Structure 1
């Protein structure tokens, strides 16, 4: 509601509009900057943490957090598709996927 401008209809530069493919009505999905920035800060921090600890790409956190973000983004769009266009908060899928995948994989390292 806030990112789309609400009832005022103002275009606020706080979201990305992603067009629906093969939609005759030309609809689009929105992804807010908060859905990109918060997990992005976590991933950037993990990269710095890995570099400070002199860890490689496979035994650090960065790669696994990035994979978790991609999985979470895929789940977001899958749920959006399955719910027939009714949006869900992307952070509801992105944050658990990044943290849980990293926790599971890094526990084994």
Structure 2
């Protein structure tokens, strides 16, 4: 995996200088940013949909930072390349899950959807509201 990533010269990786002459660069794949980034973005959208403070976004982003730090720690401890998603994804999901459980909002988070209602469901809603207004008039 590492040899393929090192030999492939395309914008799919980020190289960071380390100051170590034996390993002059540390590498992070764009998948290690994009995949957890989608989860963090969805956490932000959940916060915005509720009209509340960005609490789930902050916990997901903190989980991402902890996952990156853990990856760097393990990589330096074992002096070997590590798959970053192995540490980032559980950290992001774990921090968000703990926050969700702590606040008792598991069901709203799991049921979150931005899907727009279809025409049939809009018709049902409008007919239901018409029935209520008819009953009030009587």
Q: Normalising TM by the smaller chain, what interval? A: 0.7 to 0.9
Structure 1: gaps (5+ residues): none
Structure 2: gaps (5+ residues): 104-138
TM-score (norm 1): 0.84
Aligned residue for 2:53, secondary structure, equals coil
CA RMSD in angstroms comes to 1.4
Query: Whose Rg is larger?
Result: 2
- 1:19 counterpart (17, 20, 25): 17
Q: Does 1:89 align with 2:91?
A: no
Give the ranges of 4+ consecutive aligned residues of structure 1 lying more than 4 Å apart after TM superposition.
none
Q: How does 1:1-109 map to 2 (within 5 A)?
A: 1=1, 2-5=4-7, 10-21=8-19, 23-25=20-22, 27-58=24-55, 61-84=56-79, 86-109=80-103
Structure ranking higher on relative contact order (CA contacts 8 Å, 6+ apart): 1
TM-score (norm 2): 0.68
- Corresponding pairs, count: 101
